[in-house]
Structure 1
């Protein structure tokens, strides 16, 4: 099974990708993670990306696409994958289309998590992140001398700069202008599944699995 998980920043794509990958025995492919891994492992594409990152530039779509291709051809993706964070532009979608035509002819699913901008702004501006393990909580859940339930670190929850309200609004603007059109690109290239991303996490997962017709 090949899945793209899609939606605005903060809608819960990463959370659902991890849960679905575990339930469906698929590889969770996070673009940020595989880019860092390729740089660390000094793969051919990783070395090219490293040089650009170190010079302060943005990694071009072709290099990101090359890293995605390397990953999707890896043994860990033999049962299928969930792509999280790619494609984000029409150009990236066209690159991915060429990759998938080359490596397989399986049915592609696009899962779109829907949420109004005001819900996303409220959700992101009120979240804190553990600076050790990356676990995310609402600020109302974090008290003085709070110990992370995941890694056990004390007083480790911080607000990221990306979660300031003005930054969130700019990220949403970029999403609507450059990423949202990708949804239309896939209307005749994938089975489209739309889910209300504002539901509780477990309900979103259940809804997705039902629409995928997976028990």
Structure 2
């Protein structure tokens, strides 16, 4: 099962990707984790990515695609994977499709977590309050200003992927604002449909 998980920042992609990966016994692949692992391992891709990230720049599409392709080519992903945070642009989606086609593979489904932006803002600010109250570190981007920037970027770059995947007939949308267990069950239902 080859799955892409889409949704705006704070929609719960990471939480749901981990749950799905455990349930389906396939790896959950977060691009942030992949880039950090490649940098720590000192691979050629990792060295390039580390240099770019240290400058504070965004990792270019070709490097992101190379990172993901390298990872999904490993044996543990032969039965499938869940991509969390990739693709983020149409160019990345096309590159992923092209790679999969060379391997005679395709995505089984793209799951979109739909959320209301106002509720999402409340959720993220509440997450920061809870972290602080529990003595945990607060994510640097869990604030109103950073969320606005992240949402603007999401609308410009990532949101167009919903139509791209809808036109391919693989997009399935789920209400991401319901309780975690209900969202998880809905995602599994969408996969099975």
Pairwise TM-score range, normalised by the shorter structure:
over 0.9
CA distance in 2, matches of 1:27, 1:126: 29
CA distance in 2, matches of 1:60, 1:142: 34
**Under a length normalisation based on structure 1, what TM-score does the superposition of the two structures give?**
0.83
Tell me which residue corresponds to 1:32: 32
Q: CA deviation at 1:75?
A: 1.0
Higher helix share: 2
CA contact (8 A) 2:11 2:176 kept: yes
CA distance in 1, matches of 2:184, 2:48: 37
Which 5+ residue runs of structure 1 have no aligned equivalent? 129-137, 147-154
Tell me which residue corresponds to 1:133: none
Bigger radius of gyration, 1 or 2?
1
CA distance in 2, matches of 1:96, 1:113: 20
Which 5+ residue runs of structure 2 have no aligned equivalent? none
**Under a length normalisation based on structure 2, what TM-score does the superposition of the two structures give?**
0.92
RMSD of aligned Cα (Å):
1.8
Higher strand share: 1
| Larger displacement relative to structure 2 (14-23 or 48-57) | 48-57
CA contact (8 A) 1:107 1:190 kept: no
Q: Which has the higher contact order (CA 8 A, sep 6+)?
A: 2
1:1-215 alignment runs, 5 A limit: 1-128=1-128, 139=130, 143=133, 146=134, 155=135, 157-213=136-192
Residues 25 and 54 (structure 1), Cα distance of their counterparts in 2 relative to 1, 3 Å cut? same
SS at match of 1:122: helix
SS at match of 1:29: strand
Residues 104 and 55 (structure 1), Cα distance of their counterparts in 2 relative to 1, 3 Å cut? same
